[in-house]
Each structure stands twice: as C-alpha cells, then as structure tokens.
Structure 1
Amino acid sequence: MSLEVDWTRPMWPPESARTPSDWQPWLYRAERILPGVLLAVATVVSLGVGGHDGRWWVITGILVAATALWVLGTVVLAPPRLRERPAFALLAFLGIVGLGSVLEVRDITFLIFMIFAFLAAMRLRPTWLAFAALAVTSLLINTLGNGGPVHALRERPAVWITIIVVQTAAIGGGGLLSTAVARQNEERRRMLDDLAAAHAENEGLQRQLLSQAREAGMLDERQRLAQEIHDTLAQGFTGIITQLEAAALAKDEPAEWERHLDSATALARENLTAARRSVRALHPEPLDAATLPDALADVATRWSGRTGVPAAFTATGEPRPLHPEIESTILRVTQEALSNVDKHAAARRVGLTLSYMDDEVTLDVRDDGAGFTPGPGPGFGLPGMRRRVERLAGTLHVESEPGGGTAISAVLPAVPSPPEASA
C-alpha cells in the first residue's frame, strides 16, 4: 500500500470520520481546549509583564473577551460537521488570525495565542489555500513584533522569506504526511474488517456446505445400503427360504432334508456376517479414539496383515483436528481405495500419504499393481469415492494405465474442527 498525498483533503484529520483512530478523540479534545489555554497563558504573561495604563487594559480586555467568544463559538461549541465545511473553516481562521494579530500588535506576548492559527489553517481546503493560510500566519507571527510585515520585508526580505517558507513547508508537509498516514491506516483497518467479514462469511458457507454434504451423505449411504441389502441380505434370505421349502418337501428323505437344512443354516450365518459388516460400515470406528493419521496408519496395518501386501503410511505437514465430515470422508476413501487394490490390482506394495497444508488436506494412495484405463464404470468404487469427495468441495484425481499401477489423490478443504467437536 503506497503512501500517497491527497491534495483535496484537509491536513487535519476529519473529526466526523466513522472509524477514527484510537488517538484521534484525544486530539480533538486537545484542539478544543488549546486555544483557550493559549489565550489565558498569553493574558497572564501580559499582566505579569505590566507596563500598560488602565485605558490600554480596558481595550485589550475587550479584545481578549471577543477572542474568547470567537473561539467558543467556532472551535469549542461548533459541531464537527460544521467545522469541516470549507466556508466555516475559512471564517474561523480569519477571525482567529485577525483577532490574534490585533492582540499581538498590542502586546508581543499574545504571539502565544497566534500559534493556534497554524492549526486553524490546517483545516482549510483545498490544500493550496491551507498552505497560503500557513504562510500568512507565519508572516504575521514572525513580523508583527518587528514593525509589521511591510517593514520587516522591506528591511530584511531574504531572512523573513526564508523563515516563512521553511516554517510553512515544515508545518504543511508534516500535516500532509500525517493525513496520508491516517488515511493509510484507515484503509488498512477497512481491509482488515473486510477480510474478517469475508472470513466469517466463508466459515458460514463452509458450515452450510458441510450440512448439505451430511444430508447428501445420508441419502447416498441409504442408496448404498439399499444396494448392499439387495445384493447380499435379500438374496441370502431368498436362498434360505428356498432351502427351507426344499427341506419341507424332502422330509421323507432324511439325507436330503438334512442337506437342505445345513444349506439354510450356512446361508443364515453368511447373512448374519454381512449384516454385521453393513452395521460396522455405518460409523468410522477407527476415528473414535484416535487422530486421523493414527487411524489411517491402523487401517493400513490391519489391511496389510489381512492381505499380505505391505502398506506404508506417511503423514506430512502439521497434523491438526479437522471437521468430522472431512476426516470421515478421508477415512472412507482410504478404506475404499485399499479395498479396490485388494480386489483388482494384484499389487506387491501400497503407499499412503496424508498431507496437511494451509487450506487443504490431501490423501494419496499409490500401488504398483495391474492398473487400468480410467473411465466411467458401474459400482460404488471410484464413482462413490468421487461423490464423497466432491460433496465437500473437494476433487478426486485418478492416474493409471494397464500394467503401470494406480495413483489416487483426494484433495479436500482443511476445514478446522468446530469447538464443540473438539471439546
């Protein structure tokens, strides 16, 4: 973000800004108090110096009272939005510099009050007018005690012009720089507020996405169970009924009756095993008492022990708790990928890698098996894995060729675990 000067804005930060800096309220209070304090100090010093008659003090007292009333009306009591209007700011400056000049002519100690004219000049717009007002203030402050502007410039023009130019440039340049810094801080604060709002909106969208994914997952799980019940349990019960009916017809033949009864019993046991397997598939048990990397390592170890194929698991990045839907999906994809390797790949080894990144988590499953030509196909293997991942705004990539092994990569958003889930 570059530090650019805006020549259309006043050098003094606007008091009516909707998002002022923490120090600005104190600055505005000091600005309202300062002219009265400077006027009081100048008056006290003038009284202490003395050397004036009664008539002088009467006139000076009237001028001090008029100046105090002007300051009260244009600085102390004026609403912020009125003070920021260019015409009002110019009127306030002219009154302050005019009354202050008259007082300084009467007594040089009122130069103390004239210092406030610099601040009044910095409220003017456009910028060239503010610089002109600063130059006029500098000219009056420095020359009124030395015979006035005309006399001072006629006697020593180079000295007084140099003083006025340097003083005006220093005060005006500092004002422009402070305004640019204040504007930059305001823009940075607005950007941070926008980022915070976008982050909150993104978290809301992620929660909504995960909620929708949960509903879609329930429907998909029902469809999968329906297919599994049709392919296993329903067919098994049909076989049991068929065997029992055949046994009823062969009750006069003990050997045949016993054979049909044994077949029905075997089918019933197979169906019970299939039912238990379906129930276990409904819940990712390995995640109940372990982190995701530990659960995947355990899945790989148990799969390797069952199939005899070495399976190496590696985790990279900084592991952290993720949303339960994300972790459950990664676990299911791992189980399905290993199941496909066991059924189709004839692999000699398998490698699994879980990678934690800033805003993503990636699962890679590679084998050196038979490979295949990727494409659409039936069943709940790769299509089911892809549906699971894409429901959570993720992507699934499959690279394979006949004889060249298979690499599956699932990329999911690293949505952090909600507080209630990690408590």
Structure 2
Amino acid sequence: MSATPRSLLSEGTWPPKPWWNAPPGVWTALAWCAGLVFTFLVRLRLPGEEEPLVLAGVVFYRWDGLTFLALATALALDGSRLLSRRPLAAVGRLLAAAVLGTIPLSVGEIPLAQFLAVDVALYFVAAARSRRTGRIAVTTALAVLAGFLATRWLSGWNTGTSAELAVALTAVVAWLMGTSAHESRAHAEQLRERSTAQAVSDERLRIARELHDMVAHSIGIIALQAGAARRVIDSRPEQAREALGEVETTSRETLAGLRRMLGALREAEVVEAGRREGPAGTPGLADLDGLAAATTAAGVRVEVRRVGDQRPLPPEVDLSAYRIVQESVTNVVRHAGTRSCRVTLEQRDDELSIEVVDDGRGHGATADTGYGLVGMRERVGLLHGDFSAGPRPEGGFRVAARLPVPAGVR
C-alpha cells in the first residue's frame, strides 16, 4: 500500500519536489553538460552520416585539448554553484568557460553549444534579480562576444561573424524572457497586495457599518427610555427606575459590542472567499426576539411573524437580515411616531424575504433618504438581492428586502 500524505508526515518524510523546481544553478550546469555532449556528438560520424557534421580540431582529442575542456567545465560548474548567491560573478565564470572551451575546437566564434549555459544564466538573473543586475549581465555577455570577435579580427584569424551574431541574439532573447518573467511576477505581487489591501478595506467598512447599526439602534432605545423616565420620575418613580435600568443595560451591552468590534477593527483579519466571520457574538435572526423585546420595553411594540420553514442561513445572509430589521426598527423608533410595527420573515427554498411596516407618519419623502436606508441598500446589493423602501399609500412606511440563498445551503 502506498503511503498517504498523513503517513509521510508522521514518519518525517516529505514527498520529493518536482524535478522542474530544481535551483537555477542545476539548470545552468545541465545546460553546460548538454552543450558539451553536443560538441562531441557533432564531431563524430553518427549513423546515417557519411562524415561528421563538424571536423574535429587538431588538438581536440589530445591531452591539452581535453585539459582545456575540463578546465572550462570546472569554471562552468563553479559559476552554476554561485548563480543564486553571486549572479554577476557566476555569469563571469560561465563566460570565461565559454571562451576557454573554444580553444580546442578550432572555431572562429563561440559556438551556441558553449554559450547555452550563459543563456540559461541570463534568463534566471533577469527573472530573479533587479533590472540593473540583469542589464549588467547581458551587457557583459555581449561585450565578451564582441571582444572575442575583435580579438580574432585584429589577429587576422578566421572569424565566424554571422554565427556569433546568432549567439548574441540568443543572449538578448534569454534576457528579454527573464525580464518578462520578472515583470509578470512583480505584477502578480502587486495584484496580491492590492487584493489584500482591498480586503482589509472591505473588512473595515463592514465593521464600520456594524458599528453604525448597533450604535444607532442602542441610542434610539436609550433616548426612548430616558424620555420615559423623565416624564414619570415624579409621578411613578418605580417605572422611572425600570426605564433607567434599561438605559444602563443597553449602554453596557453597547459598550461591550463596541469593544469587540474595535478589537476586530485593529486586527483587520481577512477571511477568503467573501465569507468573513465577524467578531465574537455576531448577531443573527436567532436574536430577533431579543431585539423585539428590548424595543417593546422601550415603548414601540414589535410583532415578529415567520413564514415558511426556518432553516439555517449562510452567515452573511443571517447577519445582513438581522441588521436590516434592526435598522428598520430603529427608524420606526426614531422617526415614525407610532407605537408598533410589524416584521415579517418569509423563507423560501431560494430566498429570504423581509418586510418591516408601520402605521406612523413615515420617515422620509423618498426611498433614498437617510444613511440607514443607504446602508441597508448596500447590504442587499452585496448579496445580489432586491431592496425597496418608501411611504405606504395607506399611511406609514415599508421596508422590503429579498436576499437570495445560495444553492449549497438550501
């Protein structure tokens, strides 16, 4: 039986990394070895050929030619070892290896096979290092190629200018590919940072909206209780004492909620997938009866009607529904001038409908007045629902919202 990931972890053995995740130095060393093998193969008569593609030089198979190739290989491997820590020094060693490797070949240019490791190194330097380092590396490579040609020209030796131009082109292409990879990585990092900043901003905005909803409702209740206590403090001191007790209780609960939310605001924790859990004690429709009781005790009777099967809702739908009802009831307390209101919750398979109506004098000439209505509209919009609010023809005010329920929660 093959080992599972859990058993591998328990045994202290990690699965090996994929071969394509090898360090850059490994790829550079492999490129040099591949070029070296190719150098020997093109100087042999392979099956199907009448003669080798390239004739071997006089010293190619002699001890001195093989010694130069061995020294060049040592330089290339040392450069590959330094590539991750000292990229420019590594490129310098690889260029020296490419030049040294041409001595036993009897050629008029640095062949592409000897320059392949330099191309690979240029790509990794441009992709992983700063732009300045990448430009220095490619400029050095082109300068070495130009210096090699100039030396042969001045010496009167045969020069493979066309082949050398092709090698220079591969160096520029490798550098451009590395630069493109570097810019793509930088752009992806900027997008991640921007996404994180946007998520933090959204979280802070959500908490600010929570603060507004909670404080506005609590202050409305406190104002009602304080007004009732002031009116009956002389004639009915016991009722005044009860009202002041409600003021104290509501104030303490509001202060505790503020402390929780401010703590969450300082942490600014971002939860992925758009479903962010609120701070401890986040309310939902299960707390609606407590909201109705507190508002009724303050002097405005809240009747709650539930229609349909009451099934669990997603956290964001549950919280938004509670806040919509809370804000609507707060508006009734503060603006409607009535003693009662009715809250209807109708839960279907694919949506939750909310309706809050009262028989008061209304609290807004249109459906877009007041920050509370704007906040409710934003909540519903974020959940791709429908929202409406406005005076009723028969009198009073009506707030209605429809919140879709995701299919996975039905």
TM score, norm. by length of structure 2: 0.47
Structure with more helix by fraction: 1
TM score, norm. by length of structure 1: 0.46
* Larger RCO of the pair (alpha carbons < 8 Å, separation 6+): 1
Higher Rg of the two aligned structures: 1
